[in-house]
Structure formats: structure tokens, C-alpha cells
Structure 1
Amino acid sequence: MPTPTDGRGSAVGGYGHEGTVDGHGPGHGHASDGHDLRHHGDAEVRDGSGALTDLAVNVRADTPPSWLREQIAASLTSLAAYPDGRAARAAVARRHGVEPERVLLTAGAAEAFVLLARALRVRRPVVVHPQFTEPEAALRDAGHEVGRVLLRAEDGFRLDPAAVPDDADLVVIGNPTNPTSVLHPAALVAELARPGRVLVVDEAFMDAVPGEREALAGRRDVPGLVVLRSLTKTWGLAGLRIGYVLAAPETVRELERAQPLWPVSTPALAAAQACMTPRALAEAEAVAGQVAADRAHLLAGLAEFEEVTAVAPAAGPFVLIRLDGAAGVRERLRTLGFAVRRGDTFPGLDDRWLRLAVRDRATTGRFLQALDKALVLAPR
């Protein structure tokens, strides 16, 4: 039986006895193989003071915009009625050029991962890491034994489809990938598809990519394709919980049966409908262009530090960096007023990695000054 590999074809600890991975079978805890799969960026900024500048959470700053807040507020007069998702579902379908039967609205992308783990009958799920850890956590909590394909820093965290075991019947990959910010070519990701396999592509950050190049959302020609989208990141709706799944109608029906009644609230449905309008899509494209410029400014500043190596090219609204003593630097940055995301909770990374959210040039300038101080203070 093939084993998960490091992205170049060499094994990194495959399915052991009866499908366990690296000695770990299914589990309900937060940690797996030394990685806290349930640690997320919001934990970095919960000090209660509000004094930290947030570079740990990948949600666009100063959101949601006023026009979106107004749309959400207007929906509050309808709270006495049960939520009706038909209009929002149709709006998402129009935006991606698919039938409404191919759309499932969810309480954020995180709910979609739980539905996939619980509703689909799979035997050999594999997650391509480093990436968002919630898919593996959801699969483990549902009792699955999860295989891993670990992409390597030496290869730029690039995907090699041949590294994925042939008998994997569910494969999960992010694009662009959190936390590496790597954007995989759509054609390369599509090579992972085959009859009898569910291919889950997490495109939560795709709307931060100008032109959404390399997107698979809306494709009908890729067998077993399931695309997840989130409205959390660009529109600042983490507290509202709204996302959606694009998949074949039979897959949507399977997932829908696993949902509770009325899983998405009326305000969240109003937000989804509003974010699908031409005005919203034009604004998202403009934001994506600004993110690209701000990210380039951040990368240029990071290049001035010989101690820091950034993963490039980066395509998401965040950058992954490697430096010795990253844990100590992260703590010193906190004392200087900046929260950044630790990287060692992601399988495939260790305590030398940090993830930085892209912010405006002024914020980045202040951060780079703080980073310079944190590095100066580092023990030699």
C-alpha cells in the first residue's frame, strides 16, 4: 500500500497498521503528532487588553464595510421568521455559473469540514500539509484515520500529485494554502481527481487573489470535486459564520442531510446574498489588488533581515517566514505590541516558523521596526 510522502516521493511515515499515520490513529483530542490542530490565530490576540496589533488572524482589517453592515442590520427585522436560504443560494450559484443544486450554504467553512468528515463514507482520507488544520481535526473527531502528505520547504511547499497515495479516497488541499501562501496551479490540483475519490479544495482565500486565477470553483469537469469558500476573510464576517460548498448535486444532498435544520442564520444569509452582487465582486477584486501590493511591501521589508526567510512567491493575504528562535521573537513582538501566528501547530512545520497577516503599509512599517528590535534583543 502506498505511503504518504514528503512531496518528492520519499515516505514520511505512512499508514501503519490498519491505516494509522505516524503511529497515530483516530482521536478526539486537539493534538496529533505534537501539533495542536485546534490552535487558531485568534488565540494569539486574546489577551483581554486590545492593545496588540493583530497580524495573527487572516481577516481583512477594518471590516465589514459600511454597506455590508447596513445589509446585515436590515435583515434583523426578519428574525421572527425561520431562515430561508433560497435567495442566497441562488445568488451564490449565479456568481459561480452553476445550478443552485450544486451549492450548499454553511455556517462558515469550518462547518463544511465537519459535514464532509461525518457524512461521506470514506476509508482512506489524506490531508496535504502544511495547511489549515481544521479538516484533519474534523476527520479525526469523526473517527477517521488520517494520512498526511507533507510538502517540503526545500521545494517551496509545491504540490507533487504523485506524492498522494493512489488509494486515498478523500484528499484535502488548500489553494492558496494557509499558512504557506502558496498558490498551486489549478491544472496540478485537478490532477489529484479520479473516479471514486473526493477532492476537497479549500479556496477560503481565493478571493484575495487578483482574478481568482487557479480557482476551481464552478468547474464541472473535475470528478469528485468539492470546493469550499468562506466570506470570513475578505469581508470580516468571522463572527457571523458564513461560507458555502460547491459540489455535484448528489454530494450536496449527502452533506445537507447531515446538517441541522436552518443551519445558517438570517443575517448570515443576507450577508451571503450581498457579497455576491456585482458591486461586492468589484470591491473584492480591488481589495485583492491592494493586498498584492501590501504583501509585496511586506516581503521587501522582510528581505532586509538576513535572519528571516520568507516563503515566496506568496499569493494569500499572509506570509510564512522562517527564523531561528521564532518562539522567542514572537514573545518579544508581543511586548512590542504585535501578535503574530506561531507556525509549529501546523503539521510539516516546527518552532522556527511564523505566519504574518498582510496589513496596510503604515502598519507593516511599524511591524518591521518592532521586528528589528525583537531580533536585536534575541540571545546570541
Structure 2
Amino acid sequence: METGIGGTVPAAGPRAEARSGGRPVEEPDLRHHGDAEVRGEGAGLVDLAVNVRAGTPPAWLRERLAASMGDLAAYPDDTAARRAVARRHGLAPDRVMVTAGAAEAFVLLARLEGIRRPVVVHPQFTEPEAALRDAGHRPRRLLLSAADGFRLDPAAVPAKADTVVIGNPTNPTSVLHPAEAVVAAARPGRLLVVDEAFIDAVPGERESVAGLVDEVPGLVVIRSLTKTWGLAGLRIGYVLASPRTVRELERGRPLWPVGTPALVAAEACCSPRALAEAEAAARETEERRDLLMATLSGFGELRVATPAPRGPFLLVEHPEADRLRERLREEGFAVRRGDTFPGLGRRWLRLAVRDAATTEALREALVRVGVT
């Protein structure tokens, strides 16, 4: 079932029935991601579809990764990486699990015993729901409303939900939910899973709940190191949770699931130097996002969702977004389609924040394709 702010509608299987008249509608493709826009014929396009920071990984991180090649004969040991992550968040190492990206964490969570009534807050990254479905679950969808700025109302979460998944800041809406609203969704016996893959792109990591793992029962925080550091091809992230949840997640996991270079990256990206660089990058991204918003606001046909986006991307509405996406491809720009996110549709596009020169080139392309 899908639980919207204004009601509940069914949503199961490749097709679902629409609320009005029982007309069949296409179920969103949960496995479509931004990288599909820049593969094959999309190679060489200006990439506004993938939310990985441009110009990464930095030279010092590449050097650390290159040096790790000399240790490949030994089996990976995640001890140093777990300690570094734990130290970075002020937690004990037994509250940390290093993963092959956030995607692996969602798969492991979906396989936990005891999940019966999962709820995924949408629009958001689709892999959590895809993983739940692959594990045999039929998650309900809590659909946030564009009219309300896609804001989270914790009271709208079904009381019987035993697992709730929330993105913060949310991909693709760029909404940063107040930490108070996020933890208000916690309940005894409930797993509250918060995807903070983009929180390090927010100056000061405002509204992060990572430091509350010891205080909020059932809280699970998932982080990714692939976005800010340009490590999507390496696959590295981590989970913060209670020791019991960490043990349950590790049960049945393959031996040595994260390779040595990725573990070295996790340790390096938690260093004081890396944290300072990430903070500087977040502030730069904030300025670039404001410029992109101002540029897009010059076109009456475009509407940026939410009054105050906080992620390194913007969700944009256009009456003919499908056609606009194709026209922009002809102009050399790849943007992310929005209709594969539950709760959105064919009027939506997501654009990654880039530098000022790229934003100006996009503005010129929008003019050429006739956007007014």
C-alpha cells in the first residue's frame, strides 16, 4: 500500500491501479539510477544526472588508494576503518559496520528477521524499497506532498510500522528534515533507518542524527563515502547502529565483503584533514546550489521544488519534462528523469549542482531549446 498525506492507495507489482477509475498506471522503475543517463550514448555528455562531486577523488586520496595496492596479498581487515568511523562519530567500534556502499547496507537490512510491516518515505532513493521487495516484503509508501514542500510529518507514519526508511537530506527532493522530526518517528520495537548519504554535503552536517545512535532505540544511520569523495566505483559506506543490530546485519554476510582499498578509503575519509575538506566542499556546494536556483528561477516554465533545498542537487518541475530532458541531451547535457521515483511523475527532473561555468552553459542551453 501507498500511504499518502491525503490517503492510501495500493502499490504492488509491476503495475498498480490508479486511485481514479481503477485505470492501470506504470509502477516506477526502482532500478533506474542517474548513471544510466551517462552510459552508452550518454558518455561524453555534461553530467547533471549523477550526484557525485566533480573533480574527485582528490590527489591525496588517490595516493592513499594507490599505496594500498601493496597490501592486496593479505585478506582485508576492517578494524582500523571501524575505529576511524567510530572515532569520527564519537561512538564505540561495535556500533559500526563498514559496507560495500550504502546499497549493500539496504540489502542487509531488508534481510533482517522480524521485519513485517516496513514503510518507505517517498520520494527518496529507490534502492531501500527495491531491496525490501527483493527480500519478499511488500513495503507501504508514505508519499510526501510537493504542495507541502515534501516535508516529513512523523505523525503520518503508520503506527504499526516496524521499519521506517527516511532519506535526509532526501534524494531527489533536496529536503533536509529537522532532526527533531526524524527522531520523532522512532517507536519501541521499530527500526528507524535514516539514509544520510548526502549529509556531508550540508555545511556542519546540520540535522544529522548519527550522534544519536546511543540515545534513540532502533535508530540505524547509513552513510556513503562515494558522493563527496568520488568513490562510486570503489563501493564504500557504513552503518551506525546498536551492537545487537550490527551483529544481526553481519550474520550470514560473506567473509571479507569490503576490499582493502575501500577500507583504506573509509579510514582516510574520516581523518581530520578529510573532514575539513568535506566541510569546505559543502560550503562551496551551497554557493553553487544558490546560483543554480537563481539561474533556473529566471525561467517561468521551471519550478524548483521546496523553498530551501539543502542537498547537492535540485528537483525541478516542468510541464514537458520528458521532452525537455531529450532536448537537453541533444544540447550535450544529461539530467536525471524524475518519473522513476514513487510520488513524482513525468513533470520532474533532478539536476546535480555543478560549477558556475556549467550552470551558465546550462542556462544558455535552456534558452536554445526554447524554455521561457
Report the AA paired with residue 5 of structure 1: T
**1:147-158 maps to which residues of 2 (within 5 A)?**
147-158=140-151
Report the AA paired with residue 73 of structure 1: A
Retained in 2: the 8 A contact 1:119–1:258? no
Instruction: Give 1:249's aligned residue.
Output: 243
In structure 2, stretches of 5+ residues that fail to align are 16-24
Report deviation, 1:23: 4.7
**1:90-101 maps to which residues of 2 (within 5 A)?**
90-101=83-94
CA–CA distance in 2 between the matches of 1:75 and 1:327? Answer: 44
**1:99-138 maps to which residues of 2 (within 5 A)?**
99-138=92-131
Instruction: Give 2:264's aligned residue.
Output: 270
Retained in 1: the 8 A contact 2:2–2:11? no
Report deviation, 1:25: 9.4
Instruction: Give 2:36's aligned residue.
Output: 43
Q: What is the aligned counterpart of 2:56 among 58, 63, 66?
A: 63
Report the AA paired with residue 234 of structure 1: T
SS in structure 1 of the partner of residue 211 of structure 2: coil
**1:164-203 maps to which residues of 2 (within 5 A)?**
164-203=157-196
CA–CA distance in 1 between the matches of 2:32 and 2:95? Answer: 32
SS in structure 2 of the partner of residue 301 of structure 1: helix
SS in structure 2 of the partner of residue 87 of structure 1: helix
Retained in 2: the 8 A contact 1:307–1:323? yes
Report deviation, 1:12: 2.7
Instruction: Give 1:306's aligned residue.
Output: 300
Report the AA paired with residue 118 of structure 1: R
Task: State whether structure 2 residue 326 is matched by structure 1 residue 331.
Answer: yes
CA shift in 2, pair 1:131/1:362, >3 Å: same
Instruction: Give 2:20's aligned residue.
Output: none
CA shift in 2, pair 1:337/1:195, >3 Å: same
Task: State whether structure 2 residue 87 is matched by structure 1 residue 89.
Answer: no
Instruction: Give 2:21's aligned residue.
Output: none
Instruction: Give 1:221's aligned residue.
Output: 215
SS in structure 1 of the partner of residue 221 of structure 2: strand
Cα shift readout 1:321-369 (whole Å, capped 9, x = no counterpart): 0011100000000000000000000000000000000001111110111
Instruction: Give 1:18's aligned residue.
Output: none
Report deviation, 1:6: 2.1
CA shift in 2, pair 1:49/1:164, >3 Å: closer
Task: State whether structure 2 residue 7 is matched by structure 1 residue 11.
Answer: yes
Report the AA paired with residue 4 of structure 2: D
Q: What is the aligned counterpart of 1:22 among 3, 6, 11?
A: 11
SS in structure 1 of the partner of residue 193 of structure 2: strand
CA–CA distance in 1 between the matches of 2:332 and 2:26? Answer: 32
Q: What is the aligned counterpart of 2:351 among 356, 367, 370?
A: 356
SS in structure 2 of the partner of residue 35 of structure 1: coil
Cα shift readout 1:210-243 (whole Å, capped 9, x = no counterpart): 0001000121211100000000000000000000
Report deviation, 1:24: 4.0
Q: How large is the RMSD of aligned CA atoms in angstroms?
A: 1.5
Q: What is the aligned counterpart of 2:315 among 313, 320, 325?
A: 320
CA–CA distance in 2 between the matches of 1:368 and 1:79? Answer: 47
Retained in 2: the 8 A contact 1:25–1:145? no
SS in structure 2 of the partner of residue 375 of structure 1: coil
Provide the identity percentage. 67
SS in structure 1 of the partner of residue 298 of structure 2: coil
Instruction: Give 2:18's aligned residue.
Output: none
Task: State whether structure 2 residue 234 is matched by structure 1 residue 236.
Answer: no
CA–CA distance in 2 between the matches of 1:60 and 1:23? Answer: 35
CA–CA distance in 2 between the matches of 1:25 and 1:256? Answer: 31
Retained in 1: the 8 A contact 2:14–2:26? no
Q: What is the aligned counterpart of 1:282 among 270, 276, 284?
A: 276
CA shift in 2, pair 1:115/1:33, >3 Å: farther
SS in structure 1 of the partner of residue 142 of structure 2: strand
Q: What is the aligned counterpart of 1:295 among 270, 277, 289?
A: 289
CA–CA distance in 2 between the matches of 1:147 and 1:258? Answer: 27
